[in-house]
Chains A and B, each alone.
Chain A
Amino acid sequence: MSATPKAKLFEDDRFMKWLLIGPLVVFLLAFMVYPTLYSLYMSFTDYVMKGDPNFVGLDNYRWVLSDKAFWEALGRTVYVLVLCIAIELVVGMALALLLNRNFRGQGIVRGLCFIPLLVSPLSMSLMWNYILHIQFGVVNTVLGWLGIEAVPFLSTPSMALNTIVFITVWQWLPFSVFVLLAGLKGMPRDQFEAAQIDGASSIRTFFRLTLPLLKPLIIIIVLLRVMWLMRLFDPLYGTTRGGLNTELLDWMIYRVSFVFFDIGQGAAYALFALYLTLIVGALLFKQLIKAMDGR
């Protein structure tokens, strides 16, 4: 309306869009580019938190590639990633379908189901540690009353990692449930009515109609969960602390950098993990953009 040059500038979209995004970009540069470059530099040195860093070339990377513990941690991380996401998607879908109707007390039920997502992961992993304890955990007490021998959920290498998967799924399942539920609620109704008139079975409708419509949301869940699971730390801290064959990538980097203070080597591990996630993430994001714009 007004014609002063300053107001004109705000009317100009090209100026406006970069102005709005400015603070974010500055913050990103400071908090992302800096640590990445610094880690990159550190990964070529033998810095151990004191003295001066010496340049050691590719020694740290050579060490990473030949380190059996690193490949084991990476393998475990992939195992946790695949298992958690698969369970969360399948069970989450089932629960979302279960909740996708109007019933009495639906507000209370939804509120209660939302709780695990919000309570502190550290508190919950400590609590699960207590609940699943082999001697005085409530689960094993009840199993004992039923005449079942105590299950060493968190005290044997063959079970500990799966128990951590369970704790993680318990915490994050509501995320999948609520995202998928939001998707189900937002579906165009007319197509479903048409399918019903055509006499399509409900299973057929689900696979032909519901699932394709939910595809962007499923990709979002996978994308976000891959990123969050790569940095799984709290459930380990509250339970096994990396023992009993449960050491995951993030814990290993923590141990090398902050317990052994081997910053150079820790940075090499960390960058390796970063590159891996960036590649997987970029592929998923491309799919997401395609799925979102394809309709």
Chain B
Amino acid sequence: MRSLLFWIAVGLMVFVFVFPVLWIYVTALKAPDDIFSDNPFVFSPTFENFDYLINVRPAFGELFNSMILSVGSTIVVMLISIPAAYSFARFNTGRGHILFITISTRMFPGVVAAIPFFLLFRNLGLLDTHLGLILLYTYFNMSFATFLLYGFFREIPESLEHAAMLDGYDRITILRRIVFPLIKPGIAITTMFCLIWSWNEFLFAFLFTRRIARTISVGQSTFWGSVEIQWGPMAALMCVAVLPTLLAAWIMQKHVVRGLTFGAVKG
């Protein structure tokens, strides 16, 4: 009886979490008439919405831009955040003040940063460029990445490093041979989050791109015209936008149960 209740609860939870995502794929396979039909469950699947994205209104450029931006910004974020997080965790650099300032960048209402950067980028010619958005996304993801990595570094006992130091290893060797292998899962999870949040980002992309650097998020919003919403092609583009994140969810679930403690719980 208890176990039956358990499975009902789990089933309900999974249904609520997954149904809307599933519905994207259902909608993308519908012809325009079926999208507004009385029975949303009965329809004959068609690929005409995907055909629309390939031949009528190509979306390859947007897909390509999103890939460049998320990979580019993630590399920069990790190069900045890994050393910084180590420094915060091991030396308590800035006694928490700099760490708080770092975290609080994510607190800026997005638009607060958008106004000055819009004017600055306009003068520097960075509007609607990949470089401009990579810089913005680095700023946008840096704080959470540093905070998450800080937690992982905190979980590595300091005594391990001290022992190696007594054995005569220098700092660089210790970092490479002892710290890095232990932090690898943390780096993997953080990289995933950065990739996905840059991939999904909308506000900055919406304000700072027009045509050349337009991302897949902005692409979706273009189907909401002044007259009507083209649900079919929009859903088809959503399928493409959501697909990498579904894969990521699968890869991440194994590590994330152990990983999201921010170093705050020590068992």
Contact = CB atoms under 8 A, between A and B. Distances in A.
Interface stretch (A21-29, A55-63, A80-88): A21-29
Contact of B170 (A10, A122, A217, A234): A10
A114 interface: yes
B146 A274 contact: no
B250 to A, nearest CB: 5
Contacts of B108: 32, 35, 231, 274, 277
B258 to A, nearest CB: 6
A267 B115 contact: yes
A173 B20 CA distance: 15
A197 interface: no
B110 A107 contact: no
Interface string B199-232: 1101100110000000001001100100000010
Nearest to A129: B229
B105 A39 contact: no
Interface stretch (A64-72, A149-157, A176-184, A200-208): A176-184
Interface string B227-267: 00001001100100110011011101110111111111111
Given A42-B115, A116-B17, A21 B256 contact: no
Contacts of A263: 115, 119
A91 to B, nearest CB: 10
Interface in B167-197: 168-172, 196
Nearest to B90: A17
B102 interface: yes
Range class of the B interface residue count: 35 or more
Contacts of B109: 230-231, 249-250, 253, 270, 273-274, 277
Interface string B101-116: 1111111111111111
Contacts of B64: none
A32 B105 contact: yes
Contacts of A227: 103-104, 106-107
Interface of B: 6, 9-10, 13-14, 16-18, 20-21, 23-24, 27, 35-40, 79-81, 83-84, 86-88, 90-91, 93-94, 96, 98, 100-120, 135, 138-139, 142, 144, 146, 168-172, 196, 199-200, 202-203, 206-207, 217, 220-221, 224, 231, 234-235, 238, 241-242, 245-246, 248-250, 252-254, 256-267
Given A11-B171, A20-B83, 20 more contacts: A1-B168, A21-B88, A34-B120, A42-B115, A98-B9, A109-B10, A113-B13, A113-B14, A114-B256, A118-B200, A119-B242, A120-B245, A122-B217, A127-B21, A128-B20, A174-B17, A182-B261, A183-B264, A231-B108, A277-B107
21 contacts: A1-B170, A17-B91, A18-B93, A20-B83, A24-B81, A31-B105, A32-B101, A107-B253, A126-B234, A127-B20, A130-B23, A131-B20, A138-B23, A186-B267, A216-B264, A227-B104, A233-B203, A249-B109, A254-B111, A277-B108, A285-B100
